[in-house]
């Protein structure tokens, strides 16, 4: 199955370069459809013509972003510290939604 997701410039570039290998998202209805082996096409918010194709090679299900980030090196998410990652993700998702849906770390690999 093919999925589409949008990213701001910095995380888009990190994925395109192969530096970011886990994308963290709320485990809402859309993300619950993702399965191992699926492909995700990421596009850049400010330049939607910029796209990068990836394959899902792992799914990390957690109750909170704090728990997800605690179990993995921040560099895998494109961050320098767990605190930085938490501050960034809180700009997008409320505590209420995080508690309602849980979270998922999507392990990805670039596809030619």
End-to-end CA distance of the chain: 17
What is the value of pTM for the model shown?
Answer: 0.95
- C-alpha–C-alpha distance, residues 1 and 20, integer Å: 22
Q: 49-88: b or e for each residue (b if 16 or more CB lie within 10 Å)?
A: eeebebebeeeeebeebeebbeebebebbbbeebeebbeb
72 neighbors 60 (Cβ within 8 angstroms): yes
pLDDT, tens digit (0-9, with 9 covering 90-100), for 52-111:
999 999 999 999 999 999 999 999 999 999 999 999 999 999 999 999 999 999 999 999
Q: List the domains of the chain with CATH numbers.
A: 2-110 (2.30.130.30)
């Amino acid at each position: 199955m093919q999925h589409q997701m949008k990213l701001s410039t910095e995380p888009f570039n990190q994925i395109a370069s192969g530096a970011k290998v886990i994308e963290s998202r709320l485990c809402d209805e859309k993300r619950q459809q993702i399965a191992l082996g699926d492909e995700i096409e990421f596009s850049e918010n400010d330049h939607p013509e910029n796209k990068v194709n990836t394959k899902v090679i792992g799914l990390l299900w957690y109750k909170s972003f704090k728990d997800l980030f605690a179990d993995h090196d921040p560099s895998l998410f494109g961050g320098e510290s767990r605190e930085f990652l938490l501050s960034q993700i809180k700009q997008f998702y409320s505590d209420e939604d995080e508690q309602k849906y849980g979270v998922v770390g999507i392990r990805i690999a670039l596809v030619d």
